[in-house]
Copies of this chain bind each other. A is one copy, B any other.
Amino acid sequence: MPTTIRDVAQKLNISVYTVSRALDGYDDVADQTRELVIETANKMGYVPNRAARQLRRQKAETIGFIIPSISKRFNEPFFMEFISGMGEELSGKNYDLLISNVNTHDAELNLYHRWVNSRKVDGFILNRIRKHDWRVNFLSKSGIPFVALGKSQDGIDYPFVRIEAADEYLLLMQHVQKNGFSQFAFIGGPTDLVNQIDRLKWFRSATKKCGIEVPRDRIISTDMTSMGGYEATSALLKSLTPPDAILCVNDEAAFGALHAAREHGLTVGTKIAVAGFDGIQDSLHAEPPLTTLDIPVADIARQLAGMLLELLNGRQLESREIVIRPALVTRGSTGG
């Protein structure tokens, strides 16, 4: 049996109350007593029972993250970097991170419901926000705090981080154009994803500014996996008027695009340009190294976790909206 607060109290012949207050650092305990308590507790290996504290305080000191069921094969490095960032921030503040993944929409719904109603977690961090997102609506209705990467259009006010890349997208396109490519295509994600909506918007506005025409069938929706990018690119390259510049909604899709282009015997960077978005680590080791709009994924996750903790502790947020701008990283895949 692990040590309880009573064991510590008995050992020192003082009340449980005093031990509790001393360990929590309140100043209504004599300094001498406090030091003695802390020392003894450490020596005895006492750690408060989480369930008991949680039940009493009505707080779980745990944050939930459910990997969206959209991500079929969710081994995408993006999520790993995201989780890494959240985990770092939370464990530094003695909060835990509860993670789960689900394969179906129903299971996802069910899990949110369970975690909320069983008070397993104090708050949620969301990702891959959709234009209309039931998670946002559900959590808001449940009155449980949450933050997200991306703002849904449900008219619900919540703290979020968003990415603003209109200018950088223009830079990217000018760079690709300057290297001699002109027939652009956009390999996107599911059409109701905020990421997709934003990135396609930036793509379109950049084409307009560059005086580029993009036929409708050069804008494709995929599942944002490398396989999706591969298939979309294969299809594009088989058309009568294939593109020579493929901009992808994320790096994963771009990896698939690189693969498909090579398979068609095209030297990437010379005969065709490919670019991604996110700047995940492996983009550097692609062949050729992938041009991308680099966002600090782990850092964004860290900031989101930080915002949520502020919220949970009832502190005023400095800002309920944080804007991140990506950095254009030009590499071999667009001609260097």
Q: Are B47 and A113 in contact (CB under 8 A)?
A: yes
Is residue A282 contacting chain B, with contact meaning CB distance below 8 A?
yes
**With A81-B75, A99-B83 in contact, is A55–B47 under 8 Å at CB?**
no
Q: Which residue of B lies closest to A281 (CB)?
A: B75
Which residue of chain B has its CB nearest to the CB of A83? B99
* Copies held by the complex: 2
Q: Is A179 an interface residue (CB 8 A)?
A: no
CB within 8 Å of B: which A140-192 residues:
none
Q: Contacts of A119 on B, CB cut-off 8 Å?
A: 2, 49-51
Interface residue? A77 (CB, 8 A): yes
Binding site for B on A (CB under 8 A): 2-3, 45-52, 54-55, 60, 62, 67, 73-77, 79-81, 83-84, 87-88, 90-91, 96-103, 107, 111, 113-114, 116-120, 226, 230, 255-256, 258-259, 262, 280-282, 284-287
23 A-B contacts (beta carbon < 8 Å): A2-B116, A2-B119, A45-B113, A47-B113, A47-B118, A49-B118, A51-B55, A51-B60, A55-B55, A62-B98, A75-B280, A76-B80, A77-B77, A84-B101, A88-B103, A90-B100, A91-B101, A91-B102, A96-B100, A97-B98, A98-B98, A255-B285, A259-B285
